[in-house]
Amino acid sequence: MDSDYTVRLVQPQEAPRVVALLERCYRGTYTNPAALDPEQVARQISSGGTLIALAETRAGAAVGTGSLEAVHDVAATYGRCVVDHEHRGHGLLGRIGRLLVLDAAPRHGLRYVHSSVVTNHAYAQQHCVDLGAAASGLLLGHYPAGMHMHGIGRAEHPVSAAQVVVSHDRDPEARQLGLRGEDLSRARRVLDACRIPSRVSRGGARGWSWDAVHRPGLGLVHLVPRRSGAPGSPELTAGATARLLWADVPATDPGAQAVLDRLRERGFCFGAYLLGLGPEGEDVVRMQRYQGPELLSEGAVCSAPAYHGTVRDVFADYRRSLAVHA
C-alpha cells in the first residue's frame, strides 16, 4: 500500500543514507562523484542550494530518492532519482517528483526545472510527462556504456538522454532571440510549449568567452559561456580527446546564430534549448559533439510519444553532421 511509505525532505546529517541508497541501486557505476561523497552532499543540503527527497518504509528503510539542485536563482535540475526495484509499483517516484518539482521548486522561486531522462527507460520518461515536462532536446550518448541502469541492467552502449523542462514562469518575459532558420524553430517549439513569447533580436553581438568544465565520469568537457572578450567561437582544444563536448551559446545574443554556424562547421549538432541556464539566467542553446563510436538510431529511441519529435529532430541533425564531416 502507498500508505506504507513516507516521502520527505532530508536534513544534512542524513546524507550518508542517501549516498548508500545511490551506491546500492547503481552498483558502483553512478557517474557523479559529488553525489557519492556524504560530506559534499551534506554541504549541498546545508547551503540551501540542493533539496533531496527520501522515500522510506514504515520501518525507516530508505528505498527511493531524488534531488533538486539550483543552478542559480531562476533554474534548477531535477535528478539523482532512483527507487529500489523491490519497492516499485507504489507511486514513489511520482511522489518524489511532485514534492521536488511541483511543490518545492515554485516555493523557492525557481522558474524552470530541467531534467535528463534516459531514452531506454520508459517509466522514467512517463514520469516526466506526468510532471508536465516539455521536451527541449536530446543529449547524445550522455551516459557511458557500463553504467548500471537500475531496473534495466548494465548498459552495453552509450545511452542518450532526452532533455525536458517544467516551467513555473507565470509572467514570462518575451525572449529576444539571436537565432534563425531551424535553430529558431527549435527554440520556439520549447518556448511555445512553456507559453513564453519570443521575437528575433536585432543589433550587434555582445562579447562572450568560454570556460571549460571537465566531468571525467561522463568523459565530458562542457564549455560554459561567461561575459567578456570578443564575440566568437569557443576554444575546442580542451575537449579534443573527450568522449563528449558541449558548448552553450547564449540564445538572446544577436550574434548567437553565427556562433552556432561556426560550431556546425566543426562537427557540432543541436543538443537542447535550455531555459534560464546561462551564466546570468538567460537561455542557452547547447550544441554537442559526440566523439564516441557512431550512434545508431536505435540508440536514441524514446518511447514517450510526447518526446518523439524532438528526439528524431536532434538525431537527424547528428546524422547530418556526420555526413558533412565524413
Question: Is 296 inside a domain boundary?
Answer: yes
Q: Are 107 and 210 in the same domain?
A: no
Residue that is last in its domain, among 167, 189, 218: 167
Query: 42-56 as b/e, with b when 16 or more CB fall inside 10 Å?
Result: bebbeeeebbbbbbb
For 94-114, the pLDDT digits (tens) are 999 999 999 999 999 999 999
First to last CA, the chain: 56
In the chain, the number of structural domains is 2
Beta bridge partners of 5: 57
- What are the residue ranges in the chain where pLDDT is below 50? 299
Which pLDDT belongs to residue 116?
92
Q: Are 110 and 217 in the same domain?
A: no
Q: Hey, what amino acid is at 213?
A: V
Distance CA 166, CA 196 (A): 12
Q: Are 6 and 150 in the same domain?
A: yes
- What's 316's domain CATH number? 3.40.630
Distance CA 287, CA 42 (A): 33
Domain that holds residue 274: 202-324
Q: Are 147 and 273 in the same domain?
A: no
Report the predicted TM-score, pTM, of the whole model to 2 decimal places. Answer: 0.90
Helix, strand or coil for residue 168?
Answer: coil
Which pLDDT belongs to residue 166?
97
Q: Are 240 and 105 in the same domain?
A: no
Q: Are 149 and 226 in the same domain?
A: no
Q: Are 157 and 240 in the same domain?
A: no
Query: How many other C-beta atoms are found inside a 10 Å radius of the C-beta of residue 64?
Result: 24
Q: Are 243 and 312 in the same domain?
A: yes
Query: 97-108 as b/e, with b when 16 or more CB fall inside 10 Å?
Result: bbbbbeebbeee
Which pLDDT belongs to residue 125?
87
Where on the phi/psi map is residue 279: left (φ > 0), alpha (ψ -120 to 50), or beta?
alpha
